[in-house]
Structure 1
Amino acid sequence: MQTSPLKIGIAGSGFAGKFHHRNLRGLPAVTVGVTSTRASSREAFAAEFGVRAYASVDEMLPDIDVLDICTPPSSHAAYIRKAAAAGKHVIVEKPFHGFFGSPKEHPKEEMLAAVTEELRDLRKVVTDSGILLGYAENIIYAPSVQREREIIERSKAQILRMTAEESHSGSHSPVYGIWSESGGGSLIGKGCHPLGGVLYLKRKEGLARNGTAIRPVAVSCRTHSITKLPAFEDRGYLRAHYEDGEDYAFLHVIFEDGTVADVMTSELVLGGVYDFIEVFANNHRTRCHIQPVKVVDLYSPDKKEFAGMDLMEKISSNEGWIPAFPEFGWSNGQYYEMRDFVTCMQEGRQPECDLELAIDTTLAIYAGYLSADRKGQEVEVPRI
């Protein structure tokens, strides 16, 4: 067990890197430094937070205990391998991994096969190295989802079906919707969040009832590019012009026990992030509100009053009635996520959100892309 604070190095100086750093406050961990492919970005991050800017992950690894990967998913596998070879624990943002090539040149069968083999190899790399990996799916740590986990475990509930969604008006990332960088569009970029949540809750149900996780066995999926339709009228409120990734997806998941979940996701929703999981069980029904959170109702007569304040994620204007965050990292689970990772890495035990959940989520997504390519035909989720 490590008693001294963990030394963490962040790869990626954008939005995710900043909220990871902020949510380490008060934990037995310290951000040693940051690296980014853009020198100006890493230098700005270092100046803002008082940490060292490193030219590369390779330069940073000798000075840290944990590599916190907050870069586009196309770089995740290479950084995980570097960290594992150096004996450093890993925190990695979602999406965990994907296929990064043109969908015009690579059929979806090839994508699913390649991702399956890569995930099998990454599991071996992580396991053989003895490091711990925290999969940073913060939805799992949201207070509403953790409360539902407790209800399931204590009452031995059987989940019969779930519905879940994450949608908003379009990602801020410049590489979002470029398949070679992001591995797809809405299904992987946003759908990984609610999908990870429903897979997590079924795992917990299985462990509580039978001692074995209940995993997904098949999916069917449809994807669409609504903002590319000739009839789409762009009024400037939604991000459009995605290169080759979809902006809408619907994924139907079938579990080992025959129960189901339906996951929706899109770039077509105004009013901030719309994020929930609803559980229909044999002894209860729960709506897990993740965003917006109805705790603080704030009225602003003019958007200038709160300019620059993070009142609600992806809201277009700080004006009118706003369901404001009571605290950004609390309601969406980001603080609890980092607390779990830091504690587990100090104590040498697996975190709540681990490599196995990352693998199942990624495989279900790419089985979904193959299903969508076949116009909704059911596709088995590979096992590795």
Structure 2
Amino acid sequence: MLHKTGIVGAGGVGCIHAAILAKDSRVKLQSFFDIEAARAQTMASRFGGHAARSIEELLQECDAVFVCTPNTTHEQVAMKVLEAGKHVFCEKPFALNLDSATRLRDRAVRSGVIYQVGHNRRFAPVYKVLKQAIESNELLPLSVHAKMNRGELVNPPWVWNASLTGGFLYETPVHMFDLMTFFFGKVEWVEVSARSHEHGELDDFSILLCFQSGLQATMKTYAHASWHFPFERFEVYGMHSTYETFEMERISFTKGLESQTTTYDFSLASMHEKWGYIEEDRLFVDALEGKSAAPVTADDGYNVVELIETCYQSAREGTRVSSGALVRKY
């Protein structure tokens, strides 16, 4: 049985998912919707299916829906899909504050449908190598440093506007918060220093995280760094060992005092593969077929929002904030 799938939001990431799903023989791209009807029509012409006149029309025709709309609309659109009883793949971030995340998580759990959050970095080959090293005990993380910079807040032209993005940490840095919890588990507390260089929004963060395991990590994220390579990086240190990533291009590691450095290079893979998009979409369709559970759940999405909001509270108050001690101000 073909899974009739719709895409809401015909921008860049919507086109990425459509291009991947169009190659999956288990999927029929049925319908597309965008508030700019011409963009939906362009996608329909390229991938088949048709441009729906409304989300409601799309929901009548589809069994599963990819939500690829701007950050501030994720809860509203995903709720409509859930209320229609359809399966959901929603791009990151899951939500933009804890109240929204709570509502959406609770509704997703009650719905009984598949709900997957688009944290694609988990499926990038470089991060799969790192995850496997941790899970196999080849690497026991004892100390961590990470960075996730943006080159600018210029393109797309709305990316600086927190009323549309939810704030800088919900943009590119959201990936690092998901990976931190994916690799190292639950965070115990954070301590954050942050300041603003443009637009009156915090865009320069120095973050200290302590995990329940006792592991401590530092994270730097700055919004105006240029796209100097690598703008994204993990350095994970064990006892006489180091694993180091270079964006999604390659990973190098050294184990033991006299060991040589080993490098796995994925630079020749397509962007869709090395950024993890192909695997996350395949796993979503696997979940539709009952082969496996959704690999990134509503609970996972909620945990990332909680961590980001904890960081914002620490930055505002200039104090250490424990996970679960958030003051809700919505």
TM-score range, shorter chain: 0.7 to 0.9
- Cα offset, 1:18, TM superposition: 0.8
Structure 2: gaps spanning 5 or more residues: 252-265
- Cα offset, 1:361, TM superposition: 0.9
Query: How many residues are aligned here?
Result: 309
Q: Is the contact between residue 293 and residue 331 of structure 1 (CA under 8 Å) also seen in structure 2?
A: no
Structure 1 residues 95 and 325, CA gap change in structure 2 (3 angstroms): farther
For residues 326-373 of structure 1, what are the alpha-carbon distances to aligned partners after superposition, in whole Å with 9 as ceiling and x for unaligned?
311111111111111111222164222222221111111111111111
Equivalent position SS for 2:301: helix
The equivalent of 2:167 in structure 1 is 184
Equivalent position SS for 2:183: helix
Q: Which of 207, 221, 238 is matched with 1:265 structurally? A: 221
Are 1:161 and 2:133 matched, yes or no? no
The equivalent of 1:250 in structure 2 is 206
Structure 1 CA distance for aligned equivalents of residues 89 and 269 of structure 2: 26
Q: How does 1:145-294 map to 2 (within 5 A)?
A: 145-155=127-137, 157-170=139-152, 172-185=155-168, 187-202=169-184, 214-226=185-197, 228=198, 243-271=199-227, 274-282=231-239, 284-293=241-250
Are 1:50 and 2:51 matched, yes or no? no
The equivalent of 2:284 in structure 1 is 341
Structure 1 CA distance for aligned equivalents of residues 150 and 240 of structure 2: 32
Q: How does 1:320-335 map to 2 (within 5 A)?
A: 326-335=269-278
The equivalent of 2:299 in structure 1 is 356
The equivalent of 2:99 in structure 1 is 117
Structure 1: gaps spanning 5 or more residues: 99-114, 203-213, 229-242, 295-322
- Cα offset, 1:158, TM superposition: 3.2
The equivalent of 1:382 in structure 2 is 324
- Cα offset, 1:131, TM superposition: 1.1
Aligned residue identity for 1:123: R
Equivalent position SS for 2:30: strand
Q: Is the contact between residue 22 and residue 47 of structure 2 (CA under 8 Å) also seen in structure 1?
A: no
Equivalent position SS for 1:45: helix
Structure 1 residues 201 and 324, CA gap change in structure 2 (3 angstroms): closer
Q: Which of 2, 9, 13 is matched with 2:10 structurally? A: 13
Structure 1 residues 63 and 282, CA gap change in structure 2 (3 angstroms): farther
For residues 273-307 of structure 1, what are the alpha-carbon distances to aligned partners after superposition, in whole Å with 9 as ceiling and x for unaligned?
6222222234742113334459xxxxxxxxxxxxx
Structure 2 CA distance for aligned equivalents of residues 170 and 20 of structure 1: 25
- What is the TM-score of this pair, normalised by structure 1? 0.74
Aligned residue identity for 2:159: Y
- Cα offset, 1:66, TM superposition: 1.3
Q: Is the contact between residue 5 and residue 27 of structure 2 (CA under 8 Å) also seen in structure 1?
A: yes
- Cα offset, 1:272, TM superposition: 5.7
Q: Is the contact between residue 33 and residue 53 of structure 2 (CA under 8 Å) also seen in structure 1?
A: yes
The equivalent of 1:60 in structure 2 is 58
For residues 179-229 of structure 1, what are the alpha-carbon distances to aligned partners after superposition, in whole Å with 9 as ceiling and x for unaligned?
2211112x2211111111121012xxxxxxxxxxx3112212223333x3x
Aligned residue identity for 1:130: G
Equivalent position SS for 1:68: strand
Structure 1 residues 281 and 25, CA gap change in structure 2 (3 angstroms): farther
Structure 1 CA distance for aligned equivalents of residues 148 and 39 of structure 2: 29
Q: Is the contact between residue 29 and residue 48 of structure 2 (CA under 8 Å) also seen in structure 1?
A: no
Equivalent position SS for 1:372: helix
Give % identity: 22
Are 1:85 and 2:60 matched, yes or no? no
Are 1:33 and 2:31 matched, yes or no? yes
Structure 2 CA distance for aligned equivalents of residues 43 and 70 of structure 1: 16
Structure 1 residues 347 and 370, CA gap change in structure 2 (3 angstroms): same
Structure 1 CA distance for aligned equivalents of residues 228 and 56 of structure 2: 38
Equivalent position SS for 1:369: helix
For residues 82-125 of structure 1, what are the alpha-carbon distances to aligned partners after superposition, in whole Å with 9 as ceiling and x for unaligned?
11111111111112211xxxxxxxxxxxxxxxx32332222221
- Cα offset, 1:267, TM superposition: 2.5
Equivalent position SS for 1:190: coil
Equivalent position SS for 1:33: strand
- What is the TM-score of this pair, normalised by structure 2? 0.85
The equivalent of 2:118 in structure 1 is 136
Equivalent position SS for 1:277: strand
Structure 2 CA distance for aligned equivalents of residues 344 and 26 of structure 1: 17
Aligned residue identity for 2:245: C
Q: Is the contact between residue 158 and residue 281 of structure 1 (CA under 8 Å) also seen in structure 2?
A: yes
Q: Is the contact between residue 125 and residue 248 of structure 2 (CA under 8 Å) also seen in structure 1?
A: no
Q: Is the contact between residue 168 and residue 272 of structure 1 (CA under 8 Å) also seen in structure 2?
A: no
